[in-house]
Structure 1
Amino acid sequence: MLLGSNNQNTDLKSFPHPFRSGNYGEGSEPKTLIELQMMDYDSIRDQSMEMSVVDGVWQSDELISQDIKQSLISYVIILENVPENEQDWHPGTNKQILDLVHPSLFCFVNQITRVINDKNHFINVDNALEHIDYTRSNVYQWIPTEFNISQDGKVKIESYINNLHPIQHKNLYQIIENIFQCFIPLFNTVLTDLIYNQNIPNQIIVDPYQRYADESSSDNQDDDDDNNHHRRTIIQPDVEEFQIPLSTNSNINLCGRKLQIIVKLANIILTPSNPKYPGDDHYGVNSVYGLQDEQPLNQSLVDPTIRILSTAHIPPQQSHWYIDLMRSTSPFNRLPSLVINKIMSYIDFPMTMNQAKQHRDKLMDERKYFISQNNHLLFERPFSLCEH
């Protein structure tokens, strides 16, 4: 199932030793470790995916078929087609980003969100709305969904997606399953790359205590100290033989596992009256290609080695879901809407939309300050998990 593996690339002789040739100007033979590494990545490049210009990031424009793309685009229209007062514009985006499915809304809230007490009890897609009472109260967290990956790579969503109704939008669940199935090879490659690139084998190690030649100091050392410092002879470090960065025997394969996935879906809307979108750098293409709407679907993989609270053990918190359920369930379906709304007003669980938005704002502020304080310690440039 793993695409882009380097199982066929085990002959180190195919990679010339750096600086072997004296023809530095001809460019016919790689001379640096970076060039050799690029040769290796080129050898494992697949027609469907390739490594991007950013270390550890792989990309593809070919994994998802046009039929699947079109099915997603067509269904997104249903999510967008809601009354104006129900549209959820992402905070701080000047009504340019319409959130369709976002994990910051109705997120897990410490001491407020109820969690199923019995860890063996599993909330699946079909019975997600039956657990309003079978709960107990348990810090902000996005709530992932349980995805089951079969041995042959087939994907099945086993719990509801936060903020995506499991019954009303059941067809979209299947579309998301099909899309995630296409991305499994990319996740496999990224995880494999992540593990084996932690110890980079092709570095030129310089001993800081033996970096310069041991030269005898002059009699006028005190007078010529600065000159001697700048004229020291640098010892050229040895260049080791090139090693293939990726393992050929221990590739990560997510097939046959249960994964936790965070799903996000939004619509970026640009209009002649509101045409400038201050998004990431790649949106500069708009200045070339003109205005365009986008519907980015983001599927974030939770560390497969760590299990966190998911929708399998957290019942839906959307109060309007339960109002709709009561209106369609006897004997509540015989009550006027005014009475149903009054009943719900006495229940402190689930959250109302206003409460969920207040918690979303606090979560976003918490993440914003954490990122601004810690980002520079980990990344060369600002890094964000936000797809828009």
Structure 2
Amino acid sequence: MSLHNLSELAESLPKPTPPSPFPHPYWIVFSDYGPRFPSIEEKLIQKFSQTIRSKPQWKLKYNNSDIASKWKQEFRDEFGKETRSMEGVLDYVFLELKWIDKTEATLGGFTLGPDEKILASGTGIDAVVDEKVKLQLQEQAKALAKSFDEVDYHPGTTTVVDLVHPLLFPLQYGVTPIKNEDGGVSVSEYLEEIENKKKSVSFGISKKYQWLPTSMTLDSSQDFQFTSYINNLHPVKFESLYKTISQVFNAAVPALNFSLSYYASGYRYKVEVPDGYEAYPKEYEEYMDALYNEEDKKEKEIEGYEYDYDKVEEVLSAKRLEFLKPLTVSYKEDPSPTNPINVKDFDQLKVIVKMANIELTPENPSYPGGSWHVEGTINENIVATVLYYYDVENITTSTLSFRAGFEEPRYEQGDSEYLSTYFGLKDEDVMTSPLGSTEAFEDRIIVFPNFFQHHVDPFELKDKQKPGHRKILCFFVVDPYDTLAITSDDVPPQQEEWWADEQLKDYLPDLLKEKILKLKGEKNWPQTMKEAKEMREDLMKERSVIIDDDIFDPYEREFSLCEH
């Protein structure tokens, strides 16, 4: 074969998929895979920045020297005892505000949230979704809700109504028929390669289920459109809703690119902290050696003298506090992603769509709040969430809170002074740190990576005599580097109701139905809603397992001070 032919052959072969830069949220603890716990100073920077950016017209005020001086003094008065590096912290905050101000001017209506990977849009003239699109979505969602025979309350709730949810009719390994490249059908099987996608703990993997995403590709206008059906949303009856949903997604793309770019670039430490082994100057090492030598000498020279470990540790503890120097806090340069991501560079995106309402009434006037969670398992491999609040009425302020899980600092055994001085850590503290919250009001899109846990904070009716609601459209974006997550392109609709619908001939041609029934048998396929809801219970049970040993859960494990 000639070199020319070899070159043509090489070009025709599928290109290997590069490794994903996105870590899985359930990373393996004690593996150096997760970020190190942040310092007190880093958390103060975060707190001060959020406090300022929550003020009305902060961009007009932070450059005013009188106002800035007043704010700085307020921070000194309230938090001065928490750090020995307050002036460095304050300088950092105001320099970073300049970068945030400059960056937000390029984001087309989005602002940075508690972390630069969390973005949110505005309302009214600052909304990124056109008002006509929002009103269309409101009407189309009402029509969708009316199309159901009964209200589908999310299991375990009396206020959350599921309109479109991936928990119903998921891919089930060993059960669900999938289309093959040769035109045949086969039963989907669990692949061991799923476990090797990323470093993930066992409870971050399902051997039974996968939520079913649909593919999106770019049209001639460089906008994303759906190429197959959204699971649990009829593609013919609600064709116009498909278009509206895609318009909302396209409005979120600039923020999605920004969030994923910083997510792919790794955790950005604002304050560098020396490891415990390097935190002390040479003088401390000399003092410690002299103290040990003195005790050794006494033990040898004084009959009956016993080495007093407790006394030595007490003396060293006091000296460690003396020798631990304040951290140097310095804003060196504006951050920029080292691994920029543009989702339009990929041949397709796999996206899971959810629509849900929280509906309150005078008889049921409050929502208690959600649980802390990340989305999905390694099977879906979700890297980001996009939330759109398209209809909010008669409720108190609703917020979405975030927190992150961290690896423990590297420290010398028993060195509680290092841990408390630099990190504010003590034995049995949970290895998570709050990031802050973002208000969820009508018109707002919130985008964040699926590395932070989040939960909906409690809210209630504003006017207790009237009903109220909060309605969302949600996108779970699958890692674009993932080739193993199966989409609705390859899974024929499983719903019994859809099989009987003549409008779905393009999705379920007679020949395909025959092949599936030959494979599965008429008694076993398609699935009824009753079967789907039973499966939903099992799926939810699987994904809400309480871990017997929280030490392996990066979001729940407690810090354990090693003293031996």
Please say whether Structure 1 and Structure 2 have the same fold, judged by a TM-score greater than 0.5.
Answer: yes
In structure 1, the residue matched to 2:394 is: none
Query: Equivalent of 2:104, from 41, 45, 49?
Result: 45
Does the CA-based 8 Å contact 2:361-2:461 persist in structure 1? no
Does the CA-based 8 Å contact 1:269-1:293 persist in structure 2? yes
The answer to whether residue 273 in structure 2 is matched with residue 195 in structure 1 is: no
- Offset, 1:363: 0.8
Amino acid across the alignment from 1:266: A
In structure 2, the residue matched to 1:88 is: 152
The answer to whether residue 305 in structure 2 is matched with residue 229 in structure 1 is: no
In structure 2, the residue matched to 1:321 is: 498
In structure 2, the residue matched to 1:8 is: none
Amino acid across the alignment from 1:350: P
The answer to whether residue 215 in structure 2 is matched with residue 146 in structure 1 is: yes
Once residues 97 and 360 of structure 2 are traced to their aligned partners in structure 1, the CA distance between those partners, rounded to angstroms, is 38
- Offset, 1:301: 0.6
Query: Equivalent of 1:70, from 135, 145, 161?
Result: 135
Residue 227 of structure 1: SS of its match in structure 2? helix
Amino acid across the alignment from 2:103: I
Q: How does 1:327-342 map to 2 (within 5 A)?
A: none
Does the CA-based 8 Å contact 1:268-1:294 persist in structure 2? yes
In structure 2, the residue matched to 1:115 is: 178
In structure 2, the residue matched to 1:303 is: 479
- Offset, 1:230: 1.1
Residue 460 of structure 2: SS of its match in structure 1? helix
Residue 539 of structure 2: SS of its match in structure 1? helix
Once residues 44 and 108 of structure 1 are traced to their aligned partners in structure 2, the CA distance between those partners, rounded to angstroms, is 41
- Offset, 1:156: 1.4
In structure 2, the residue matched to 1:353 is: 529
Q: Deviations over 1:316-350 (max 9, x none)?
A: 00001112339999xxxxxxxxxxxxxxx944211
CA shift in 2, pair 1:143/1:39, >3 Å: same
The answer to whether residue 56 in structure 2 is matched with residue 56 in structure 1 is: no
Once residues 64 and 317 of structure 1 are traced to their aligned partners in structure 2, the CA distance between those partners, rounded to angstroms, is 33
CA shift in 2, pair 1:241/1:180, >3 Å: closer
CA shift in 2, pair 1:254/1:374, >3 Å: farther
Does the CA-based 8 Å contact 1:149-1:259 persist in structure 2? no
Does the CA-based 8 Å contact 2:257-2:342 persist in structure 1? yes
The answer to whether residue 286 in structure 2 is matched with residue 286 in structure 1 is: no
In structure 1, the residue matched to 2:352 is: 262
Once residues 329 and 367 of structure 2 are traced to their aligned partners in structure 1, the CA distance between those partners, rounded to angstroms, is 47
CA shift in 2, pair 1:59/1:354, >3 Å: same
Structure 1 vs Structure 2 CA RMSD: 3.5
Worse overlay, 163-172 or 267-276: 267-276
Once residues 192 and 184 of structure 1 are traced to their aligned partners in structure 2, the CA distance between those partners, rounded to angstroms, is 12
TM-score after normalising by structure 1: 0.73
Q: Deviations over 1:98-118 (max 9, x none)?
A: 211111100111111100022
Residue 532 of structure 2: SS of its match in structure 1? helix
Worse overlay, 170-179 or 223-232: 223-232
- Offset, 1:45: 1.3
Does the CA-based 8 Å contact 2:171-2:209 persist in structure 1? yes
Equivalenced residue count is 327
Residue 349 of structure 2: SS of its match in structure 1? strand
Q: How does 1:23-34 map to 2 (within 5 A)?
A: 31-34=90-93
In structure 2, the residue matched to 1:79 is: 144
Worse overlay, 167-176 or 53-62: 53-62
- Offset, 1:273: 1.2
Gaps of 5+ in 2: 1-71, 76-86, 189-207, 296-307, 371-397, 400-456, 507-520, 558-564
In structure 1, the residue matched to 2:66 is: none
Q: Deviations over 1:254-279 (max 9, x none)?
A: 22531000000122211111112222
Once residues 174 and 55 of structure 1 are traced to their aligned partners in structure 2, the CA distance between those partners, rounded to angstroms, is 30
Q: How does 1:211-250 map to 2 (within 5 A)?
A: 211-213=279-281, 214-215=283-284, 216=287, 217=290, 225-231=313-319, 232-236=322-326, 242-247=332-337
Once residues 345 and 313 of structure 2 are traced to their aligned partners in structure 1, the CA distance between those partners, rounded to angstroms, is 66
CA shift in 2, pair 1:299/1:199, >3 Å: closer
- Offset, 1:78: 0.9
Residue 44 of structure 1: SS of its match in structure 2? helix
Which structure has the highest strand share of the two? 2
CA shift in 2, pair 1:187/1:201, >3 Å: same
In structure 2, the residue matched to 1:136 is: 186
TM-score after normalising by structure 2: 0.52
Once residues 373 and 68 of structure 1 are traced to their aligned partners in structure 2, the CA distance between those partners, rounded to angstroms, is 47
Amino acid across the alignment from 2:541: D
CA shift in 2, pair 1:88/1:287, >3 Å: closer
Residue 232 of structure 2: SS of its match in structure 1? coil
The answer to whether residue 349 in structure 2 is matched with residue 172 in structure 1 is: no
Amino acid across the alignment from 1:229: S
CA shift in 2, pair 1:265/1:30, >3 Å: same
Amino acid across the alignment from 2:473: L
CA shift in 2, pair 1:242/1:306, >3 Å: same
- Offset, 1:141: 0.6
CA shift in 2, pair 1:305/1:137, >3 Å: same
Q: Deviations over 1:47-90 (max 9, x none)?
A: 61011124521111321111111000000111111354x43221
Residue 184 of structure 1: SS of its match in structure 2? helix
- Offset, 1:286: 3.2
Residue 88 of structure 1: SS of its match in structure 2? coil
Q: Deviations over 1:25-51 (max 9, x none)?
A: 699997454554444223211361011
Worse overlay, 313-322 or 290-299: 290-299
CA shift in 2, pair 1:142/1:149, >3 Å: same
Identical-pair percentage: 27
CA shift in 2, pair 1:114/1:97, >3 Å: same
Query: Equivalent of 2:542, from 366, 371, 375?
Result: 366
